[in-house]
Amino acid sequence: MYAMSGPHRGSGGLSPRNLSIRGSVSLPEAELMWRFSRSSGPGGQHVNTSDSQVELRFDLARTEALPEVWKQRALDRLAGRLVDGVVTVRSSEHRSQWRNRETAAVRLASLLAEATAPPPKPRRPTRIPRGINERRLREKKQRSDTKRGRTGRDWG
């Protein structure tokens, strides 16, 4: 068996035990399901032998890590992406599995951060000041009179 050491071997130093979403909320490593497969794309001869494509799955419907309000928000917003309450993120753009793992983790974190964000405050329409409206109508009237004066009626 080969020794697994060095910066790109194994999952040592990959990411902290928990995947941080926003504030103090994070997903425990135990709730993240990783799957590796052969990746299409760059890699040369090595690509046919290494499982560098990463698929990260997170069971959003059954998690206890997110506050209930966030969980409902995310379930509503990600409804089109979920399969049985599970959200899946894939990464295969890097040649190394380790970098693909990091990319997938960052993608999942940003996806969940966006999906759990509070809705924006409703827009309060601004009132147009009366003076501005009156000036606009006055200018329209003036322009209308100018154009009316250009008709060829009096040019006989």
Higher-pLDDT residue of 72 and 2 is 72
Q: 92 vs 14, 46, 53, 73, 112, CA distance in Å?
A: 16, 14, 4, 29, 20
Higher-pLDDT residue of 115 and 18 is 115
Over 60: is that where the pLDDT of 9 sits?
A: no
pLDDT band of 2, cuts 50, 70, 90: very low
Give the HSE-up count for residue 106: Cα atoms under 13 Å, Cβ half-sphere.
8
Instruction: Quote the DSSP letter at residue 10.
Output: T
Share of the chain above pLDDT 70, in %: 79
Average pLDDT over residues 135-148: 94
pLDDT of residue 144: 94
